[in-house]
C-alpha cells in the first residue's frame, strides 16, 4: 500500500475543504433567502382568518357592498389581520358621504384602479367594501412586510361638510373596537395611515390630542 492509497494528496484535501466551505456558504444563502421570503410576506403566508361581516355597530347599520371581484381593487390576496389602519377621506364636499364613497369604488373609472379599502364611516352609516381578510391598497406601502396594506384593515372616516364629524369618529371608534375584538387584537393594533408612510392622514385626528382621545374612545367600546 502506498502513501497515496491511504491518504489523499494534500492538494485534494485542500480542494475538498474549499468545496465544503462553498457548500456551507450556499446553504446559508438559501436559508437566508428562505427566511426573507417567509418573513416578508408574513401576513400573506399565514393562514387567512375567516372574515366577518358586521351588520350593526352601535345603532349604525353596516352595509356590505363589496367591490366587484373583477375590479383591480379586489386583489384577491388573503392574509391574516394585524392592524386596523385609520384614514380620513380628506374630502370636505357635502356629498363626500360613506354612501358616495361606496358608489365611487363601484364606478367604472375605478375598474382599473388598485386603490381600495375596507370600510367607510360617516355620521350615520358604515359601508363595507372589501372582505377583511383580503389585502387592499390604502396605506401607500405596497406589500411591505407587516405593513398597512399587507396586514391592515383600512377604515376611512368621512369629513364631509354638513356631516357630524364627531359622530363619524365615534362610529369609527365603535367599529374599530368591534374589529379588535373579532380578530383578537389589542389597542396597539390601531394605527394611523401616517404610521406606514409619510402622509398626514388621518389629518384631523393627528392634530393636538385627538389621536389619544380616539384611542380612549376605542378602549371604552372594547
Ligand atoms: Zn389615509
Closest CA to 115 of 148, 83, 82: 148
Axis crossing angle, helix 165-182 with helix 210-221, rounded to the nearest 10:
50
Residue with cell 388598485: 114
Residue 97 contacts residue 157 (beta carbons within 8 Å): no
**pLDDT tens figures, 15-32:** 555 556 688 888 888 887
| CATH 1.10.287.10 for domain 48-221 | no
**pLDDT tens figures, 131-186:** 999 999 999 999 999 999 999 999 999 999 999 999 999 999 999 999 999 999 99
| Cα 90 to averaged position of ligand 1 atoms, centre (Å) | 8
Answer whether residue 13 shows pLDDT above 90: no
pLDDT, the chain, mean: 90
Residue with cell 369618529: 169
| Cα 30 to averaged position of ligand 1 atoms, centre (Å) | 37
pLDDT at 123: 98
| Cα 207 to averaged position of ligand 1 atoms, centre (Å) | 15
| Cα 9 to averaged position of ligand 1 atoms, centre (Å) | 68
pLDDT at 48: 72
Average pLDDT over residues 56-85: 97
Answer whether residue 2 shows pLDDT above 50: no
Residue 115 pLDDT grade (very low, low, confident, very high; cuts 50, 70, 90): very high
| Cα 20 to averaged position of ligand 1 atoms, centre (Å) | 52
| Cα 110 to averaged position of ligand 1 atoms, centre (Å) | 18
| Cα 210 to averaged position of ligand 1 atoms, centre (Å) | 16
Average pLDDT over residues 5-12: 50
Closest CA to 132 of 155, 105, 110: 155
| Cα 46 to averaged position of ligand 1 atoms, centre (Å) | 25
Answer whether residue 42 shows pLDDT above 70: yes
| Cα 138 to averaged position of ligand 1 atoms, centre (Å) | 7
Residue 48 contacts residue 105 (beta carbons within 8 Å): no
**Percent over 70 (pLDDT), the chain:** 87
| Cα 26 to averaged position of ligand 1 atoms, centre (Å) | 43
pLDDT at 36: 61
Cis peptide before 202 (omega within 30 of 0): yes
Residue 37 pLDDT grade (very low, low, confident, very high; cuts 50, 70, 90): low
Amino acid at each position: 500500500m502506498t502513501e497515496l492509497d491511504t491518504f489523499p494528496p494534500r492538494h485534494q484535501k485542500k480542494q475538498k475543504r474549499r468545496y465544503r466551505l462553498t457548500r456551507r456558504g450556499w446553504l446559508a444563502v438559501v436559508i437566508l433567502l428562505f427566511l426573507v421570503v417567509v418573513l416578508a410576506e408574513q401576513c400573506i403566508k399565514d393562514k387567512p382568518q375567516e372574515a366577518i361581516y358586521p351588520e350593526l355597530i352601535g345603532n349604525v347599520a353596516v352595509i356590505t357592498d363589496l367591490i366587484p371581484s373583477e375590479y383591480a381593487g379586489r386583489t384577491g390576496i388573503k392574509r391574516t389581520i394585524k392592524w386596523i389602519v385609520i384614514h380620513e377621506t380628506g374630502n370636505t364636499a357635502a356629498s363626500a358621504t360613506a354612501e358616495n364613497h361606496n358608489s365611487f369604488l363601484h364606478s367604472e373609472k375605478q375598474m382599473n384602479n388598485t386603490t381600495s379599502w375596507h370600510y367607510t364611516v360617516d355620521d350615520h352609516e358604515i359601508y363595507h367594501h372589501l372582505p377583511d381578510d383580503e389585502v387592499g391598497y390604502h396605506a401607500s406601502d405596497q406589500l411591505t412586510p407587516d405593513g398597512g396594506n399587507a396586514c391592515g384593515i383600512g377604515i376611512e372616516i368621512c369629513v364631509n361638510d354638513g356631516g357630524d364629524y364627531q359622530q363619524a369618529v365615534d362610529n369609527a371608534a365603535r367599529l374599530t373596537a368591534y374589529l379588535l375584538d373579532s380578530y383578537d387584537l389589542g389597542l396597539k393594533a390601531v394605527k394611523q395611515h401616517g404610521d406606514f408612510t409619510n402622509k398626514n392622514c388621518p389629518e384631523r385626528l393627528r392634530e393636538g390630542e385627538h389621536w389619544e382621545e380616539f384611542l380612549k374612545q376605542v378602549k371604552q367600546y372594547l
